């Protein structure tokens, strides 16, 4: 009986060492991946979601909600029957997918029918004004729209993380720097979000440049502009910080029609 007990004690001792080693390996593995190594997109932002619903919380804006689900806010507004200025209220449920309630306004209006000129003069003797065909505006391509936006770097530091189309990596670029360094608007536009309500972004700014392009600036120490403000290209809008992360940096995104694109394709080379 004593011999059997001794064997059991030996086996228990060996098992505890194996388990202890396994736990230690897991801990060391977890420690080797610091929070700064985990990209913002993979731990805070879901990929584009077009199903289900979102319940509006106090202080949220339509731009913020659309951004967090990877959607274009124009589409989200249309699906929920919202028109400018896109007023929403706490407790309201917004559909994330479905057909636009305003699809009719997207239909191209029919051009006026050209009336054939009469070969006979009117009996009044007054000549009618000739029909003038209205010039049809040409649709600009995405490239043309992009050229209209004059892009510049939002911070002076070095790029420490680059964009990738993979789901588990950045959807923008991270620019290193020191706390308090200036963050400037990459192009002129309107501030559509200013706050700290999006988890993982810290103090965040979103600027709408035109109908297609938005830019986002995360982890700021201080925000110097508010929603509704018009900003100029190069204007100081924030101070670089480390809110929502564990090191000083600016996380910067450019979105075209709600989808992230590589900022380095737009920013000037340096």
- Give yes or no for a contact between 185 and 232, defined as CB atoms under 8 angstroms apart: yes
Question: What residue spans define the domains of the chain?
Answer: 40-104, 147-265
What is 40-104's CATH superfamily? LysM domain (3.10.350.10)
More confident residue, 22 or 209: 209
Classify domain 147-265 at the CATH topology level. Answer: Glucose Permease (Domain IIA) (2.70.70)
Q: Are strands 93-95 and 53-55 parallel, antiparallel or unpaired?
A: antiparallel
- Give yes or no for a contact between 236 and 217, defined as CB atoms under 8 angstroms apart: no
- SS3 category, 144: helix
Give pLDDT tens digits for 195-227: 988 888 999 999 999 989 999 999 999 999 999
Averaged pLDDT score across all residues of the chain = 73
Which pLDDT score, from 0 to 100, does residue 197 have? Answer: 83
- pTM confidence score: 0.58
Using pLDDT thresholds of 50, 70 and 90, give the confidence band for residue 112. Answer: very low
The residue ranges of DSSP E strands in 99-197, in sequence order, are 159-161, 173-176, 182-184, 189-195
- Give yes or no for a contact between 237 and 231, defined as CB atoms under 8 angstroms apart: yes
Which pLDDT score, from 0 to 100, does residue 173 have? Answer: 95
């Amino acid at each position: 009986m004593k011999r059997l007990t001794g064997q059991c004690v030996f086996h228990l001792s060996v098992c505890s060492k194996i388990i202890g080693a396994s736990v230690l390996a897991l801990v060391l593995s977890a420690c080797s991946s610091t929070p700064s190594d985990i990209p913002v997109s993979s731990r805070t932002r879901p990929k584009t979601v077009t199903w289900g619903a979102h319940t509006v919380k106090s202080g949220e804006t339509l731009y913020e909600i659309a951004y967090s689900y990877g959607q274009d806010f124009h589409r989200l507004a249309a699906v929920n029957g919202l028109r400018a200025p896109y007023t929403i209220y706490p407790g309201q449920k917004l559909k994330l997918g479905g057909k636009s309630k305003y699809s009719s306004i997207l239909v191209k209006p029919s051009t006026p029918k050209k009336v054939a000129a009469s070969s006979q003069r009117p009996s009044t003797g007054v000549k009618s004004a000739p029909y003038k065909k209205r010039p049809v505006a040409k649709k600009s391509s995405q490239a043309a729209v992009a050229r209209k936006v004059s892009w510049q770097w939002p911070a002076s530091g070095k790029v420490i993380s680059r964009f990738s189309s993979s789901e588990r990596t950045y959807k923008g670029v991270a620019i290193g720097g020191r706390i308090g360094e200036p963050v400037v608007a990459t192009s002129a536009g309107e501030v559509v979000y200013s706050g700290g309500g999006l988890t993982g972004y810290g103090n965040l700014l979103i600027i709408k440049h035109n109908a297609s392009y938005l830019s986002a600036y995360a982890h700021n120490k201080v925000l110097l502009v508010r929603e509704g403000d018009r900003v100029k290209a190069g204007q100081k809008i924030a101070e670089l910080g480390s809110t929502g992360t564990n090191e000083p940096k600016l996380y910067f995104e450019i979105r075209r029609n709600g989808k992230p694109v590589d900022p380095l394709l737009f920013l000037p080379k340096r």
